[in-house]
Amino acid sequence: MEAPQTNGLSYLDQWEIPRSSLKLLKRLGAGQFGEVYEGLWNNTTPVAVKTLKQGTMDSQDFLREAQIMKSLRHPKLIQLYAVCTQEEPIYIITELMSNGSLLEYLQKDDGAKLGIQDQIEMVAQVAAGMAFLELQNYIHRDLAARNVLVGDNNICKVADFGLARVFINENIYEAKEGTKFPVKWTAPEAMHTGKFTIKSDVWSFGVLLYEVITFGQMPYPTMTNYQVVTQVPTGYRMPAPASCPKVMYELMADCWKEDEHQRPTFETLQWRLEGFFDDVTSYDDASRY
């Protein structure tokens, strides 16, 4: 069988491993373009294996995620371990996170037991991963609880770099015409112009905060995508969820400022969140509002 054209992820690449060194143990999920499995590498290392279903998308587009992950090494970003590109289906092999996506975790029994301090510590980790992307001039473009993975001890890491892009000029990435957006997570300026910046990721982070505080509730729960597209640009914002600490809702509101330049950086978000639990009295204060 002819090997797929992979431009830079070939058998000469240090990331390439023999397919025989992998055992696929359990399917974790499936999507439009392929499946994700729990696997074992060299009979010793638990891994996640993302596969590309033949004929669903260009192999180079699929492997762009691996190319991005090669250059992004940070404790709060999912780490690339290896690839298998010499025959189909192509595999991307990454570290395995024991509790799956943050969205699923929040909706399960274990997630339901999280207190506000746990929630703040988890979103602070997401902010730390995104602050590194910010520093490296990357835009994620699909930040949401479904694209954050959870390991033991509530360790959180940003995942799914399939839509991520590096920006060099003007700090803007312009999506192709016809590109579909996750409407309820997309900043209004990105929705209407197709232009994404790190500040549109900050908007999405505000929506992720809402997801975490509501234990995985759908954002804008009573609204259709069309209503969101028409009402958010004219000033509508989600109200504070029940029992949401005032300081957390203020953070969401800062992420949702109409003027993107007034939204905080991820570095600022990280230190503000970490500051909440550095000072235990913050919880006491928050609970009074």
Question: Tens digit of pLDDT for each residue in 202-246?
Answer: 999 999 999 999 999 999 999 999 999 999 999 999 999 998 999
Tokens of 196: 């994404």
The CA distance from 185 to 268, in Å, is: 20
Instruction: Report whether 240 contacts 249 (CB < 8 A).
Output: yes
Vertex 85: Cα angle to 174 and 160 (nearest 5): 40
Catalytic residues: 142
- Mean pLDDT in the chain? 86
Residue 23 known to bind ligand: no
The CA distance from 242 to 72, in Å, is: 37
* Coil, helix or strand at residue 119: helix
Q: Residue 168: what pLDDT?
A: 52
Residue 146 known to bind ligand: yes
What pLDDT digit, counting tens, does each position of 57-86 carry? 677 777 777 888 888 899 999 999 999 988
The CA distance from 234 to 228, in Å, is: 10
pLDDT (tens, 9 = 90+) of the chain, 289 residues, equals 333 344 444 444 788 999 999 999 999 988 767 889 999 999 999 999 998 877 766 777 777 778 888 888 999 999 999 999 888 888 989 999 999 999 999 999 889 899 999 999 999 999 999 999 999 999 999 999 999 999 999 999 999 876 666 665 556 555 555 566 789 999 999 988 888 999 999 999 999 999 999 999 999 999 999 999 999 999 999 999 998 999 999 999 999 999 999 999 999 999 999 998 765 444 444 443 3
